[in-house]
């Protein structure tokens, strides 16, 4: 919300020009806090436009890069670097080249279980790539999208089995873990600037 009390949607001409503002998670949150839309912008029209432009068919994962990158060219890709950075003990590598991590000690943020085999870890995005895509990453340059997808601040290790079950929950018994994961991710997302 700008100092004048206006909630500028991302496609507004003033969105990038506004320097003094209170940030909100969504246009709806800004309006709920007492802000108003700029003259000539109808909320219903914005919702319809967002529905059309943010449909699932628009998300294009390959445009965010193909796999983990090695931007510093040290043979350790962003997955390996995330594993190294978050292990509570020194990691072990597959070879003397020290490129691929095979063992370490990671504590699940959801179950508190200790995981020592790197193959049992998925590296997930704190800010999901699809979420970012629908909120402006689709307008970024290819280089910026790839940097975002491999940014160590946005990567964290999670149990592969749990991470994959989130995508297709099969039973009600998974619900508490899924719910706690969403809350945890939501809190962590809100603490990171995008």
* 110 and 181 co-located in one domain: yes
Per-residue pLDDT tens digits for 54-96? 454 477 788 888 889 999 999 999 999 999 999 999 999 999 9
Average pLDDT over residues 118-136: 90
Residue 15 has pLDDT above 80, yes or no: no
Report the alpha-carbon distance of residue 155 to residue 182 in Å, rounded.
15
Neighbours of 170 (CB within 10 A): 7
**pLDDT for position 134:** 87
In a domain, 60, yes or no: no
In a domain, 61, yes or no: no
- Structural domain count of the chain: 2
* 81 and 42 co-located in one domain: no
Q: What does DSSP assign to residue 2?
A: B
Domain containing 3 equals 1-53
* 48 and 91 co-located in one domain: no
CB distance 9 to 46 below 8 Å: yes
* 77 and 169 co-located in one domain: yes
* 93 and 25 co-located in one domain: no
* 143 and 165 co-located in one domain: yes
Per-residue pLDDT tens digits for 138-173? 889 999 999 999 999 999 898 888 777 665 444 434
In a domain, 58, yes or no: no
In a domain, 59, yes or no: no
Report the alpha-carbon distance of residue 24 to residue 33 in Å, rounded.
9
Three-state SS string across 18-41, please?
CCCECCCCCHHHHHHCCCECCCCC
* 75 and 47 co-located in one domain: no
**pLDDT for position 116:** 97
* 78 and 138 co-located in one domain: yes
Asked whether the CA dihedral 154, 95, 89, 165 is positive or negative, the reply is positive
- Distance between first and last Cα of the chain: 17
Highest mean predicted confidence (pLDDT) among 3-17, 76-90, 134-148, 170-184: 76-90
């Amino acid at each position: 919300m700008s100092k004048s009390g206006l909630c500028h949607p991302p496609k507004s001409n003033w969105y990038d020009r506004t320097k003094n503002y209170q940030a909100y998670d969504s246009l709806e949150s800004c309006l709920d806090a007492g802000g108003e839309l700029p003259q000539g912008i109808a909320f219903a029209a914005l919702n319809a436009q967002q529905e059309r432009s943010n449909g699932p068919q628009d998300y294009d994962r390959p445009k965010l890069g193909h796999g983990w990158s090695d931007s510093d060219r040290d043979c350790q890709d962003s997955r390996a670097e995330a594993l190294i950075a978050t292990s509570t003990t020194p990691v072990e590598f597959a070879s003397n080249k020290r490129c691929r991590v095979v063992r370490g000690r990671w504590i699940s943020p959801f179950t508190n279980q200790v995981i020592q085999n790197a193959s049992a870890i998925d590296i997930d995005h704190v800010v999901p790539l699809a979420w970012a895509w629908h909120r402006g990453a689709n307008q970024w340059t290819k280089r910026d999208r790839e940097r975002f997808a491999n940014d160590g601040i946005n990567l964290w290790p999670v149990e592969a089995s749990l991470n994959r079950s989130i995508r297709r929950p099969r039973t009600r018994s998974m619900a508490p873990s899924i719910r706690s994961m969403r809350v945890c991710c939501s809190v962590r997302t809100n603490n990171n600037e995008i």
